[in-house]
Amino acid sequence: MEPMQNYRSAIYGVFSDQIIKPTQRFFRKEAASSLLLLAAVIIALVWANFPVFASYHHIWHTDIGFSLGTMAVSKSLIHWINDGLMALFFFTVGLEIKRELLVGELSSPQKALFPVVAALGGILVPGIIYALFNYNTPSASGWAIPMATDIAFAMGAIAIFGNKLPMGLRVFLAAFAIADDLGAVLIIALFYTKEIVFSNIAICGILVLLLGLVNFLWIRWTVVYAVLGILIWIAVLGSGLHPTVAGIVVSLFIPAQGKYDTDLFVQKVKERLNAFQCSETSCGFSILLNEDHLNAVQGLELDCHNVETPLQRMLHALHPWVAFLILPVFALGNSGLILHELNISEAVSHPVTRGIILGLFFGKPIGITLFSYLAVKTGIAVLPQGIRWSHIFGASMLGGIGFTMSLFVAGLSFTSPELINNAKFAILFGSVISAIAGIVFLMAYGTAGSSNHNPQKTGGNDS
């Protein structure tokens, strides 16, 4: 029985590392990346405002291009970041959304409705507040700026509490942030497209059909999806749609099943482990001397690769690059608010500033909490186990941290330097006060009686 127990322990260890723990690793990476994001924002503000560092805008607007025959492409460095690197960010977001739809908090109607309805409130109410202040003005196009939550900063804020808040609250925060990121992507695709080049759309459609065929034929080579993804991005780049939409589209076709199912994987592992028969009490470093042992180890590596899904493998590989490089670089290039060009009194009274700040600080918590409450009261969703309404309201305040996606949409909405400066100021200010308010509220009302290990009963009132 002991060898069988060892097999089971080894197999359970693999699945614990590869399947059960990704959510925990996701939370840790998001929390850690928030520190880098914060550092990037501070560096950008210092870099943009001190005369000795006056090269900030010159560097980010330096043209970088390439040519291939008669085709030539030239864009500024900040455009390559916003149109290119951010496509990888959206691709990763798409992978996370697909994983959540298949096996996570969005995998069933009962699980999905609560964070999805919450996200819908967090999209509609801030957008309405912004529209009320900017209706029929040149800045009306910025209505989507306060709609999305910056998941890295939000998870970083909630990580401060450690185990003092229920794990379900972190899952809820991540789920509604992912859901409203999906909403933001749809809004970008539908409302921030200026001109459609139908020939490129047709090429993109053919490539997407080919991508679907590759998935249908069970081709699991990552390089095939990478090449088709790059070609789709190039087609979208010239189509009039924002190139980051390509990241979401490609992510939906990444296979979510490996070559092996679990039973076959277990069988293969047992066969490989049976090859390790040593005459002495310890095999030592037999891998250097015994060809059978070497082949068994290489076979185990192949088995692990075959049972792992391409979606899981890509998400695991890309997420650190996105969290620790792409998003900080985006923040460094887009957070350079020039303070000496900003008249604070005029900025505060400007409709863009008021719409964004009030949308983030009031619209997000009101929309998320109200829609969550209506979903529970109407019976279409249930309050997650161990979560109180004080938790929901505190998390919804953290939902007002709109930083990354808000900056991104602001860049799509405005071309006027004045409007962009006002928008950046409002996003930074609204996100900061939302983070502080959410942390203070959860410290006062969210941690009492809460524990990861001793969740309270589900209920709609605070005790």
Tally Cβ neighbours within 10 Å of residue 457. Answer: 8
Q: In Å, what is the CA distance from 15 to each residue of 10, 20, 105, 320, 442?
A: 9, 7, 19, 21, 34
Residues 6+ apart with CB under 8 A from 406: 145, 146, 147, 148, 150, 356, 360, 423, 427, 431
54, pLDDT greater than 80: no
**Of the candidates 347, 359, 357, the residue with the CA atom closest to the CA atom of residue 417:** 347
Between 109 and 48, residue with greater pLDDT: 48
pLDDT range class, residue 442, cuts 50, 70, 90: very high
CA gyration radius for the chain? 25
Q: Which segment, 67-71, 192-196, 207-211, is predicted with the most confidence on average?
A: 207-211
Sort 91 into a burial class: Cβ within 10 Å, 0-12 / 13-18 / 19+: buried
For position 340, what pLDDT does the model report? Answer: 77
pLDDT band at 20 (very low <50, low <70, confident <90, very high): very low
Q: What is the reported pLDDT for 53?
A: 57
CA 175 → CA 104, 163, 248, 276, distances in Å? 9, 19, 17, 44
pLDDT of residue 394: 94
Mean per-residue pLDDT for 441-446?
A: 88
Strand partners, 64: 75
Those residues with Cβ within 8 angstroms of residue 16's Cβ, 6 or more apart along the chain or in another chain = none
The whole-number pLDDT of residue 3 equals 47
Answer with the residue of higher pLDDT: 97 or 444. 444
pTM of the model: 0.76
Q: Output the six-digit token pair for 247.
A: 């990241």
Percentage, residues of the chain above pLDDT 90: 29
Using alpha carbons, list the distances in angstroms from residue 226 to 208, 253, 308.
13, 11, 18
pLDDT band at 30 (very low <50, low <70, confident <90, very high): low
Confidence category of residue 9, pLDDT binned at 50, 70, 90: low
For residue 227, what are the β-bridge partners?
Answer: none
**Ranges 4-18, 52-66, 148-162: which has the least confidence:** 4-18
Residue type, 27: F
Tokens of 219: 């081709």
For residue 5, pLDDT beyond 60: no
Is 36 or 275 the better-scoring residue by pLDDT? Answer: 36
Q: What backbone torsions phi and psi does residue 61 show, to the nearest 5 degrees?
A: -105, 15
The number of beta carbons lying within 10 Å of the beta carbon of residue 401 is 30
Measure the N-to-C terminal CA separation of the chain; round to a whole number of Å. 50
- Exposed e or buried b per residue across 118-155, where buried means at least 16 C-beta atoms within 10 angstroms of its C-beta: bbbbbbbbbbebbeebbeeeebbbbbbbbbbbbbbbbb
Task: Report pLDDT for 347.
Answer: 87
Q: What angle do CA 159, 165, 170 make, to 5 degrees?
A: 60
Mean pLDDT of 150-179: 83
**pLDDT at 37 > cutoff 70:** yes
Backbone angles phi, psi at 458, to 5 degrees: -65, 135
pLDDT 10s digits, 363-396: 999 999 999 999 999 988 888 878 899 999 999 9
Q: What is the pLDDT of residue 51?
A: 62
Q: What is the mean pLDDT of residues 182-200?
A: 81
Round the average pLDDT of the chain to a whole number and report it: 82
Selection from 42-51, 155-164, 346-355 with the highest mean pLDDT: 346-355
User: 68-82, 128-142, 247-261, 375-389 — which is least confidently predicted?
Assistant: 68-82
CA distances from 461 to 29, 45, 106, 138 (A): 33, 43, 25, 44
Please report the pLDDT score of residue 19 as a whole number: 43
Please say whether the structural domain 2-192+242-258+308-446 has been given the CATH code 1.10.10.10.
no
Query: What pLDDT, on a 0 to 100 scale, did the predictor assign at position 68?
Result: 72
Q: Which of 15-19, 207-211, 447-451 has the highest mean pLDDT?
A: 207-211
Provide the residue type at 281 as one letter.
T
Q: Is the pLDDT of residue 151 over 50?
A: yes
pLDDT per residue as tens digits for the range 308-339: 888 888 888 888 888 889 989 998 988 888 88
* Domain locations along the chain: 2-192+242-258+308-446, 262-302
